[in-house]
Amino acid sequence: MRLLTAVIQTLASGKPLSEKHKDHALNGVWSKHRECYVTPGWLLIYKVEDDILVLTLTRTGTHSDLFG
Q: What are the residue numbers of the active site?
A: 63
The one-letter amino acid at 43: L
Side chain identity at residue 66, one-letter code:
L
Q: CA–CA separation, 34 vs 23, rounded Å?
A: 7
Give the helix/strand (H/E) hosting 66. helix 63-67
Residue 43 three-state SS: strand
